Amino acid sequence: MEKIVIKGGKKLKGEVDISLAKNSVLPIIVASILSPNEIIIKNTPVLEDVTVLVNLLKDLNCEVDFSHETGELKLNTANLQPISSNSDLIRKMRASFLIMGPMLARFGSCKISLPGGCNIGSRPIDLHLKGFKLLGAEIEIGHGFIEAKAKKLKGNRIYLDFPSVGATENLLMAAVFAEGTTIIENAAEEPEIWDLGNFLNSMGAKIEGAGLGRITIEGVESLKGIEYKPIYDRIEAGTFMVAAAITDSIITINGVNEEHLRPTIEKLKECGVKIQVNGDSMIVDGTGKKKPVDIKTLPYPGFPTDMQPQMMSLLSLIEGSSVITETVFENRFMHVAELVRMGASIKIDGRTAILDGVSNLTGCEVKATDLRAGAAMILAGLVAHGETEIGELYHIDRGYTNIEEKFRKLGADIYRVDK
Ligand code: UD1
């Protein structure tokens, strides 16, 4: 079994290049279903989640050409078959449920197994289904499957009880060909939604307000093929920002969008980290004295839940008391037990974690309990005394490209080994 082994204590220095956003690339890949012409996605990160989704499309007769060297991903869904049976791939990854919206839009029906995904709460899909129904689809659920059917979707007004990222994206894609006007209210405002809207508009869709709380979609007849480069990964950038802070180092991060990173920038500044942005590059100076801070995760533009575990590693080492409240997911504290094994002092009370900063962590065997929890373990390992061995790397590989290579280039003592 593969493990990441880190000998803690090395300062980081130099530059790191951020990959394009996993959470943009995944919906954009499935959105390619909406055009029978070739779609080219530039600089696609080579990630396990991308492979899963691409394989799912290949199974459905999509022509795929993915160069791992350049990241150019060519997709042609001209001969795509409607999905009507089970696929293990859908259970493997929650984001693959995003296939339902575009499939419904293109074929008028879609039957897939109920989604799986990261182990961070029950993650229902009620908001997706409520939206499909409002667009005129009939939904049937049974024996682990969901089936949606609609001869022709019709525009409607959809209010989301919670600004779910996935539901906003799925409905945005479903509504592209719907007759008339669709309005999604209380839509998620994440930058990746803006990116999906921009991608679809470049293909010929008529979408206004993607990335804002109210999205208007005028149905169109067809979409054309295009070449597109998605946005940078703000969570990967945030992970490296925390790396500079936790190791008391100064590093340069290339491939950032200041606006998208605003919540993380402001929180790290509050901690005492100095951050200087120059265009799409950023210098993070984590050498100063740091202060404890409180964090509450919220939908964008609030503090991202996907940065919560990484910040927890940092705060566990800052003298004083910090409080982290997780409001987006109900079970996203699995990394706490792992950090405590490394010597952190953290108590959980419902959705709140109370941290009492310790002066050092000690390396030991830990596991990546989910994707971002895995990143938190790497960050803790970079400063822990002795050796940290991280298992269950498939979680990390879902969302980070060459993470140990990127850290090694910055001077960390980190290797992937087969044990
Ligand atoms: C996306 C991101 C993930 C991020 C999350 C929140 C992708 C591929 N993944 O996940 O990295 O952590 O946004 O920023 O983009 N919910 C419902 N009913 C629904 C849908 C969601 O109750 O129908 C709840 C979920 O259980 C969860 C919360 O809403 O508690 C947020 O989920 P959502 O915004 O949908 O996240 P994902 O799209 O799954």
Confidence of residue 112 (pLDDT cuts 50, 70, 90): confident
Residue 199 burial by CB count (10 A; 0-12/13-18/19+): exposed, middle or buried?
Answer: buried
Distance CA 256, CA 181 (A): 35
> 22-228: same fold as 2-18+232-418?
yes
Distance CA 13, CA 244 (A): 8
Closest alpha carbon to 379 in 244, 237, 234? 244
How much distance in Å is there from the Cα of 144 to the middle of ligand 1? 20
Pocket test for ligand 1, best of 132, 162, 310, 326 (most atoms within 8 A of CB): 162
Phi, psi of 122 (to 5 degrees): -75, -25
User: Is the C-beta atom of 162 inside 6 A of ligand 1?
Assistant: yes
pLDDT value, residue 89: 64
User: Is the C-beta atom of 120 inside 6 A of ligand 1?
Assistant: no
Reported as type and span, the H/E element at residue 104 is: helix 100-107
Judge whether 129 and 108 are in contact, CB under 8 Å: no
User: Is the C-beta atom of 95 inside 6 A of ligand 1?
Assistant: yes
Rg (the chain; Cα; Å)? 21
Closest alpha carbon to 391 in 49, 8, 92, 2? 2
Percent of the chain having pLDDT more than 90? 89
Angle among Cα 260, 265, 266 to the nearest 5 degrees reads 115
pLDDT value, residue 95: 80
Pocket test for ligand 1, best of 165, 170, 300 (most atoms within 8 A of CB): 165
Looking at 3.40.50.150, 3.65.10.10, 3.30.1660.40, 1.10.490.10, the CATH number of the domain 2-18+232-418 comes to 3.65.10.10
Distance CA 274, CA 288 (A): 8
**The CATH number of the domain covering residues in 22-228:** 3.65.10.10
> What is the tens place of the pLDDT at every residue in 179-223?
999 999 999 999 999 999 999 999 999 999 999 999 999 999 999
271 is catalytic: no
Protein residue closest via CA to atom 28 of ligand 1? 328
Ligand 1 atom closest to Cα of 165? Answer: 34
pLDDT at residue 116 greater than cutoff 90: no
pLDDT at residue 120 greater than cutoff 60: no
pLDDT value, residue 419: 80
pLDDT at residue 118 greater than cutoff 70: no
**Domain ranges within the chain, ordered by starting residue:** 2-18+232-418, 22-228
